[in-house]
């Protein structure tokens, strides 16, 4: 028996390894995750389908919803294909025979669908975008998790020759019967239906012919479109497989339309011709969009068709002519023309022997030929342009219009141009930025063996992501054979192609336009597929033997399972019979859900408080779930704050500074209540699935509650009264910590969608990213709603007056331009002032200043010259000062409580406590910050990139400390991160720096967290690097780390030896980059500011 079981085990292992070749996890686990993702998408489809917007008059919104439903339906199909192939990798579900490549392609398509759906709601309706955004982010995270679980593609390097495929190895939706479509002697295609505008065919409209095509057909359905201009919008849906459409010649058979973005169409739905059904094939047809350059995005042709071929076709448009949205596509001997991003999308696309011609854009616009949209590094997508002619229309040859090969639409944009002619009209730098340094280190732009006056690479961009291939090995990755696995499916189409880097006749450079219908390319006749080779027959016979062996294994496993089940059933029935004679005593009926409460509270830091708080709220609910308990804890915390406020009021403060502290405390506790109300709003109801997207918001808000509690205590001077307040307030901290713990538990229980790490977040209401903006030379200066000017040349003379004039419930961004001048006023951007943007004439020209300080009887909280509280505050080119001086102790220049706040090219000047990063998520880019003691402090999740941090000369007895982070609980998601910054002495301290000890930071609170990476640290910093706060407070529990810094003060040899000082590896440091730490990829990208989401090196 043992030997039999061993044999079964060995056979089972062999069988299971079929899926092991393709997946990093067991097939059953992978399949469960796919089904889970499909279910989320179906929930979204159901929710969106119920929107009553179709009865509304918002044309753009109707289009956005319609597009989103189509895209989600397409994602379900792509995931279903993936599911089928993962469970049966040796079956016909794999369309190329390379299961890894197929699954990665389908999942890449499913990934881009969510992004396109979300972008469709830009500038339309924030409420609906908020409703669908969270679910879309959840789907994206889940699809990305699936991508992570597929093993990399393995391809055999191409050795030459066109690989032929056997009909037995074809997917079930594509048959070798296609060979008969072309008669060998006449090369004539046999059509099923004819479309003729003059009424001489079966139909006069192309859509009628498409509607007549059978669904999910495994053989070609051929439509002949006769000469004529067809003004209609053609959509070939996802169930129309293997449609072949041929015309009477480029510029003779023309399909035209003029939908565009300006007139209310979303980019996705603006296409004149759109195809989603797999295996689409077109030849000798022109696709055009005549909207014109002033109408912005206007697509002529859009494809989501996997394994599609466009041969000897033309595409005419301006901005966004050809939208290669997703999947594997091949374009041969085509003519493509446009202005901005006129070849764009996230498909895996090869262009061979095509003419790509830039035409004249609007004044001040720049031409960009490509804009690839690869979002994630694991996606197998990109543009490969090979043996093509890249030029412009004649009128641009000597014009001032700049034309570029491409720009990075998304973070991992990938475009390769090789063995092509590049005309002198292309700018010497070759490539164009999308937005400052966005994606310049993560993109993949390459060139290989190009020729022509514009092909010189000496003056090309110097971006980290740009490369010139020095060997054919790297270029070979982007050939037909390897990039789109073309040898497995292109031969069946009969289209000639070059599989590798083979010798190809150079295309004669011309300025062809539509007056030359031949486009100077020889039309390649369709080749018949040759007979199967003898060795392939042998290979097939071998495959049959393997299949027979596998089937035998399956039979053995089924028999073994049946035997095991029979034994189990017998034993189980015997146990039941014995139990009937001696039944155990019935367990006591639970009066409450105490066991569940204990389980939920087991991992919290304050278990007793957790259990007592929850039981008060759910004592009569014996079936309470973890989600119910999370709600109960939020309610308990809110009630506790009310009680705490009353207790603090009863202490009886007499001194003015203590009364001021009490007033601050009351404000902060109201803010804490607001954070809890937001948290309760997001978890109310029964939709537990939304926890996967709610987690990041809850962590943010609940961390802020703890920050406010600590700020309240810190507002009182040392003494007995402060200790009373601290004791009263302790319960708020414990409840906040417990709630953070349970948020993590509940979200982990309810979804696997975030298992890949780095959760996704919905775009908040202020993030209106204009849908792929036009390129202009005017610098893109903001248009203000109001202007502030000291000389009365604006709308207001003070900044506060401009803020007070902001309409209530203002939608969109309220932009305030602050002209040059020194504004001596205390400015507060209040909580109800959301999405304010304020910009000046320069950080040393437009300055807000004040001199409030602690010594003069003002609490640190109230000393700030400028306070930003309202959500989504943005500042650029402004200066913030506090001129109190070092002898006045705490004197804040800028206090920030605003979530999703952004500061670019700003200047913060002070001495002690210059910049108070109080709470929430904050981003600082290219700012100048100066001070002495703890001059960057607080309990926010604050990221500083490319900032100059200068230490000033303190008082005689003082030591300088750059940071004092205030994380009081280990579960808070807060911290200070300095990345690619400079930490140096200012010009006055520099000659005396040896006399003043300066440190990178000290732990203001027990779990203080600060990370400094990829920065320059000057010799002003002491060798030990960090300083104690008071005795051993926090030295074991803090989290301080340095990574890959440089400069005279960056050596870590003599750094402190505290338990909390960490030595991190690169993978550990990545957690503190903008993407995962601030969850910033959506809101910062949408805000259109310079940002590096990952590492700089």
351's CB contacts (< 8 A; 6+ apart) are 331, 334, 336, 343, 383, 384, 385, 386, 388
Q: Give the pLDDT band of residue 639 (cuts 50, 70, 90).
A: confident
DSSP-derived secondary structure for 1064-1092: --HHHHGGGSHHHHH-HHHHHHHTT----
User: From its phi and psi, is residue 1047 left (phi > 0), alpha (psi between -120 and 50) or beta?
Assistant: left
What pLDDT shows up at residue 425? Answer: 93
Q: Could you tell me how far CA 685 lies from the centroid of its own chain? A: 28
What pLDDT shows up at residue 683? Answer: 74
Closest CA to 914 of 932, 888, 941: 932
Of the listed ranges 410-419, 649-658, 777-786, 972-981, the least confidently predicted one is: 777-786
> pLDDT digits over 573-622, tens only?
444 443 444 444 444 444 445 777 877 788 888 888 888 888 887 776 76
User: From its phi and psi, is residue 946 left (phi > 0), alpha (psi between -120 and 50) or beta?
Assistant: left
User: From its phi and psi, is residue 242 left (phi > 0), alpha (psi between -120 and 50) or beta?
Assistant: left
Structure tokens belonging to residue 378 = 């694991």
CA atoms of 217 and 175, how far apart (whole Å): 10
**Higher pLDDT, residue 761 or 641:** 641
Averaged pLDDT, 776-792: 74
What pLDDT shows up at residue 46? Answer: 85
* Three-state secondary structure of 837-868: EEEECCCCCEEEEECCCCCCCCCHHHCCCEEE
| Tally of helices (H runs) and strands (E runs) in the chain | 19, 52
- Locate tokens 């973005």: which residue? 261
Give the CATH H-level superfamily of domain 167-532: Single-stranded right-handed beta-helix, Pectin lyase-like (2.160.20.10)
CA atoms of 710 and 967, how far apart (whole Å): 9
Averaged pLDDT, 977-993: 95
Of the listed ranges 291-305, 919-933, 1070-1084, the least confidently predicted one is: 1070-1084
CA atoms of 886 and 911, how far apart (whole Å): 5
> pLDDT digits over 515-558, tens only?
333 333 323 333 322 333 344 444 444 554 444 444 443 333 44
Closest CA to 316 of 397, 258, 396: 258
What pLDDT shows up at residue 189? Answer: 60
Query: Is residue 40 scored above 80 in pLDDT?
Result: yes
Detail the DSSP E strand segments found in 624-752: none
Structure tokens belonging to residue 384 = 């490969």
899's CB contacts (< 8 A; 6+ apart) are 700, 871, 872, 919, 920, 921
What pLDDT shows up at residue 706? Answer: 85
> pLDDT digits over 451-475, tens only?
999 999 999 999 999 999 988 899 9
Query: Is residue 96 scored above 60 in pLDDT?
Result: yes
Kind of pairing between the strands at 846-850 and 389-392: unpaired
Catalytic residue among 77, 306, 696, 934: 934
Query: Is residue 224 scored above 60 in pLDDT?
Result: yes
Averaged pLDDT, 224-246: 97
Query: Is residue 10 scored above 80 in pLDDT?
Result: no
CA atoms of 54 and 40, how far apart (whole Å): 23
Catalytic residue among 341, 671, 714, 939: 341
Averaged pLDDT, 690-703: 73
Known catalytic residue: 341?
yes
CA atoms of 346 and 409, how far apart (whole Å): 10
Q: How many CA atoms lie within 13 A of 356 on its CB side?
A: 36
- Locate tokens 């957690």: which residue? 1071
| Fold exhibited by the domain 815-1086 | Pectate Lyase C-like (2.160.20)
Q: Which CATH class is domain 594-750?
A: mainly alpha
What pLDDT shows up at residue 533? Answer: 34
Any idea of the CA torsion for 108, 111, 117, 122, to the nearest 10 degrees? -110
CA atoms of 777 and 773, how far apart (whole Å): 12
Give the CATH H-level superfamily of domain 2-148: Invertase/pectin methylesterase inhibitor family protein (1.20.140.40)
Whether residue 320 contacts residue 520, with contact meaning beta carbons closer than 8 Å, is answered with no
Averaged pLDDT, 1000-1004: 96
Query: Is residue 166 scored above 80 in pLDDT?
Result: no
Phi, psi of 270 (to 5 degrees): -80, -5
Whether residue 12 contacts residue 553, with contact meaning beta carbons closer than 8 Å, is answered with yes
Q: Does the fold of domain 815-1086 match that of domain 594-750? A: no
CA atoms of 817 and 935, how far apart (whole Å): 28
CA atoms of 659 and 639, how far apart (whole Å): 24
Whether residue 932 contacts residue 908, with contact meaning beta carbons closer than 8 Å, is answered with no
The neighbouring-strand residues paired with 234 are 273
DSSP-derived secondary structure for 669-688: HHHHHHHHHHHHHHH-SS-G
Angle between helices 2-20 and 27-49 (to 10 degrees): 50
Averaged pLDDT, 717-731: 86
Query: Is residue 215 scored above 80 in pLDDT?
Result: yes
CA atoms of 243 and 235, how far apart (whole Å): 12
Structure tokens belonging to residue 82 = 């993936």
Of the listed ranges 37-46, 119-128, 834-843, 928-937, the least confidently predicted one is: 119-128
> pLDDT digits over 913-946, tens only?
999 999 999 999 999 999 999 999 999 999 999 9
Averaged pLDDT, 248-258: 96
Averaged pLDDT, 667-686: 78
Q: What percent of the chain has pLDDT over 70?
A: 80
The mean pLDDT of the chain is 83
What pLDDT shows up at residue 593? Answer: 59
Q: Give the residue extent of every domain in the chain.
A: 2-148, 167-532, 594-750, 815-1086
Closest CA to 652 of 662, 644, 666: 662
Known catalytic residue: 934?
yes
Residues 909-914: contacts with CB under 8 Å, at least 24 apart: 909/879, 909/880, 909/881, 909/882, 910/881, 910/882, 910/884, 910/935, 911/882, 911/884, 911/885, 911/886, 911/935, 911/952, 911/954, 912/886, 912/888, 912/954, 913/860, 913/863, 913/937, 914/882
Query: Is residue 418 scored above 90 in pLDDT?
Result: yes
Of the listed ranges 51-55, 203-207, 472-476, 653-657, the least confidently predicted one is: 51-55
CA atoms of 277 and 245, how far apart (whole Å): 13
Query: Is residue 765 scored above 50 in pLDDT?
Result: no
What pLDDT shows up at residue 64? Answer: 86
Number of Cβ within a 10 Å radius of residue 156: 10
CA atoms of 411 and 1092, how far apart (whole Å): 10
Structure tokens belonging to residue 1078 = 């601030």
Of the listed ranges 103-112, 739-748, 917-926, 1001-1010, the least confidently predicted one is: 739-748
Q: Look at residue 667 and give its three-state secondary structure.
A: helix
CA atoms of 829 and 360, how far apart (whole Å): 45
Query: Is residue 637 scored above 80 in pLDDT?
Result: yes
**Higher pLDDT, residue 343 or 523:** 343
H/E segment holding residue 643: helix 626-649
CA atoms of 879 and 838, how far apart (whole Å): 11
Instruction: Please give the span between the terminal C-alpha atoms of the chain, in angstroms, as a whole number.
Output: 59
Whether residue 273 contacts residue 253, with contact meaning beta carbons closer than 8 Å, is answered with no
Rounded to the nearest 5 percent, the helix, strand and coil shares of the chain are 35, 20, 45
| Pure H helices in 426-466 | none
Q: Look at residue 222 and give its three-state secondary structure.
A: strand
Q: Give the pLDDT band of residue 500 (cuts 50, 70, 90).
A: very high
Closest CA to 345 of 393, 287, 274, 283: 274
What pLDDT shows up at residue 260? Answer: 95
DSSP character for 962? E
What pLDDT shows up at residue 114? Answer: 86
Number of Cβ within a 10 Å radius of residue 164: 14
What pLDDT shows up at residue 484? Answer: 95
Of the listed ranges 44-58, 118-132, 268-282, 994-1008, the least confidently predicted one is: 44-58
DSSP-derived secondary structure for 484-529: S-GGGTGGGGT-----SS---PPPPP----TT-TTTT-PPPPPPPP
Averaged pLDDT, 82-89: 87
984's CB contacts (< 8 A; 6+ apart) are 948, 949, 950, 951, 1016, 1018, 1020
CA atoms of 1069 and 976, how far apart (whole Å): 13
- Locate tokens 């039981």: which residue? 615
What pLDDT shows up at residue 513? Answer: 40
CA atoms of 760 and 219, how far apart (whole Å): 41
Structure tokens belonging to residue 914 = 């210059």
Structure tokens belonging to residue 1057 = 């030896």
Of the listed ranges 107-111, 760-764, 934-938, the least confidently predicted one is: 760-764
């Amino acid at each position: 028996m043992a030997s039999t079981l061993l044999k079964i085990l060995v056979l089972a292992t062999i069988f299971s390894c079929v899926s092991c070749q393709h997946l990093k996890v067991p097939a059953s686990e992978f399949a469960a995750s796919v089904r889970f993702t499909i279910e989320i998408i179906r929930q979204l489809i159901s929710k969106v389908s119920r929107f009553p917007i179709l009865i509304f008059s918002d044309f753009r919104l109707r289009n956005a919803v319609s597009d989103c439903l189509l895209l989600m339906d397409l994602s379900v199909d792509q995931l279903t294909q993936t599911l089928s192939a993962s469970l049966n990798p040796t079956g016909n579900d794999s369309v190329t025979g390379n299961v890894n490549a197929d699954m990665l392609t389908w999942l890449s398509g499913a990934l881009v669908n969510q992004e396109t759906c979300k972008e469709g709601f830009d500038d339309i309706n924030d409420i609906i975008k908020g409703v669908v955004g969270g679910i879309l982010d959840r789907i994206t995270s889940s699809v990305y998790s699936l991508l992570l679980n597929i093993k990399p593609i393995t391809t055999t390097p191409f050795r030459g020759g066109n690989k032929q495929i056997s009909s037995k190895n074809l997917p079930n939706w594509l048959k070798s019967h296609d060979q008969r479509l072309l008669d060998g002697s006449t090369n004539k295609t046999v059509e099923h239906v004819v479309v003729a505008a003059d009424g001489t065919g079966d139909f006069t409209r192309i859509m009628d012919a498409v509607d007549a095509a059978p669904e999910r057909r495994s053989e070609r359905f051929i439509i002949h479109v006769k000469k004529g201009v067809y003004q209609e919008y053609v959509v070939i849906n996802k169930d129309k497989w293997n449609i072949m459409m041929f015309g009477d010649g480029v510029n003779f058979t023309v399909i035209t339309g003029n939908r565009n973005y300006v007139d209310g169409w979303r980019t996705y739905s603006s296409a004149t011709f759109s195809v989603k059904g797999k295996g689409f094939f077109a030849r000798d047809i022109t696709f055009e969009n005549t909207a014109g350059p002033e109408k912005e995005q206007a697509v002529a042709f859009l494809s989501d068709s996997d394994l599609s071929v466009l041969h000897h076709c033309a595409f005419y448009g301006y901005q966004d002519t050809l939208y290669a949205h997703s999947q594997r596509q091949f374009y041969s001997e085509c003519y493509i023309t446009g202005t901005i991003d006129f070849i764009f999308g996230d498909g895996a696309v090869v262009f061979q022997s095509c003419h790509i011609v830039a035409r004249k854009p609007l004044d001040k616009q720049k031409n960009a030929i490509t804009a690839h949209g690869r979002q994630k590094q694991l996606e197998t997508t990109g543009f490969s342009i090979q043996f093509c002619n890249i030029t412009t229309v004649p009128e641009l040859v000597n014009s001032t219009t700049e034309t570029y090969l491409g720009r990075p639409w998304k973070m991992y944009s990938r475009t390769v141009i090789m063995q092509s002619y590049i005309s002198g009209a292309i700018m010497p730098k070759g490539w164009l930025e999308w937005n400052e340094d966005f994606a310049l280190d993560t993109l993949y732009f390459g060139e290989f063996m190009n020729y022509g006056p514009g092909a010189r690479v000496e003056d090309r961009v110097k971006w980290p992501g740009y490369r010139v291939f020095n060997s054919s090995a790297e270029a070979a990755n982007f050939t037909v054979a390897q990039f789109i696995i073309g040898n497995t499916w292109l031969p069946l189409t009969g289209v000639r192609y070059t599989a590798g880097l083979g010798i190809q006749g150079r295309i004669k450079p011309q300025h062809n336009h539509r007056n030359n219908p031949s486009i100077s390319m020889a039309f390649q006749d369709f080749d018949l597929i040759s007979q199967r080779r003898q060795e392939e027959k042998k290979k097939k016979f071998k495959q049959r033997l393997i299949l027979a062996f596998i089937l035998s294994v399956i039979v053995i496993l089924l028999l073994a399972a049946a035997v095991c089940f029979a034994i189990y059933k017998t034993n189980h029935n015997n146990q039941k019979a014995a139990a009937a004679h001696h039944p155990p005593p019935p367990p006591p009926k639970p009066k409450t859900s105490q066991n569940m409460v204990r389980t939920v509270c087991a991992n919290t830091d304050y278990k007793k408080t957790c259990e007592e708080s929850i039981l008060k709220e759910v004592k009569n609910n014996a079936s309470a779930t973890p989600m119910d308990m999370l709600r109960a804890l939020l309610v308990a915390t809110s009630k506790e704050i009310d009680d705490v406020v009353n207790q603090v009021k009863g202490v009886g403060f007499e001194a003015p500074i203590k009364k001021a502290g009490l007033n601050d405390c009351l404000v902060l506790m109201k803010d804490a209540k607001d954070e809890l109300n937001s948290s309760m709003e997001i978890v109310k109801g029964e939709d537990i699935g939304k926890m996967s997207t709610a987690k990041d918001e809850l962590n943010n808000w609940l961390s802020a509650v703890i920050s406010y509690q600590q700020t309240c205590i810190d507002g009182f001077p040392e003494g007995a009264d402060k200790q009373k307040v601290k004791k009263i307030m302790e319960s708020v901290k414990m409840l906040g910590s417990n709630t953070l713990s349970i948020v993590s538990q509940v979200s982990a229980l309810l979804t696997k969608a975030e298992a890949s790490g780095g959760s996704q977040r919905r775009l908040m209401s202020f993030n209106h990213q204009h849908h792929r903006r036009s390129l202009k030379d005017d610098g893109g200066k903001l248009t203000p709603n109001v202007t502030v000017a000291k000389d009365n040349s604006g709308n207001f003379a003070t900044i506060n007056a401009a803020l007070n004039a902001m309409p209530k419930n203002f939608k969109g961004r309220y932009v305030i331009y602050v002209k040059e001048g020194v504004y001596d006023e205390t400015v507060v951007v209040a909580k109800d002032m959301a999405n304010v943007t304020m910009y000046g004439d320069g950080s040393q020209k437009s300055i807000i200043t004040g001199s409030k300080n602690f010594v003069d009887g003002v609490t640190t909280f109230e000393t700030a010259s400028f306070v930003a509280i309202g959500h989504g505050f943005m500042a650029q080119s402004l200066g913030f000062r506090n001129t109190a001086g070092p002898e006045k102790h705490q004197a804040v220049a800028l206090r920030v409580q605003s979530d999703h706040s952004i500061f670019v090219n700003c200047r913060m000047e002070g001495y002690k406590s210059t910049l108070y990063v109080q709470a929430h998520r904050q981003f600082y880019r290219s700012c100048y910050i100066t001070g002495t003691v703890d001059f960057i402090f607080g309990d926010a999740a604050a990221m500083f990139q490319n900032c100059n941090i200068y230490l000033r000369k303190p008082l005689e007895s003082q030591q300088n400390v750059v940071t004092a982070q205030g994380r009081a609980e280990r579960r808070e998601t807060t911290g200070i991160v300095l990345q690619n910054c400079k930490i140096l002495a200012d010009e006055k301290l520099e000659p005396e720096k040896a006399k003043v000890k300066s440190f990178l930071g000290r732990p203001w609170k027990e779990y203080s967290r600060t990370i400094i990476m990829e920065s320059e640290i000057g010799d002003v910093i002491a060798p030990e690097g960090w300083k104690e706060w008071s005795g051993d407070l926090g030295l074991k529990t803090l989290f301080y780390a340095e990574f890959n810094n440089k400069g005279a003060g960056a050596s870590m040899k003599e750094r402190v030896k505290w338990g909390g000082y960490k030595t991190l590896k690169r993978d550990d440091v990545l957690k503190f980059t903008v993407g995962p730490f601030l969850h910033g990829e959506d809101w910062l990208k949408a805000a259109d500011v310079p940002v590096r989401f990952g590492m700089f090196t």
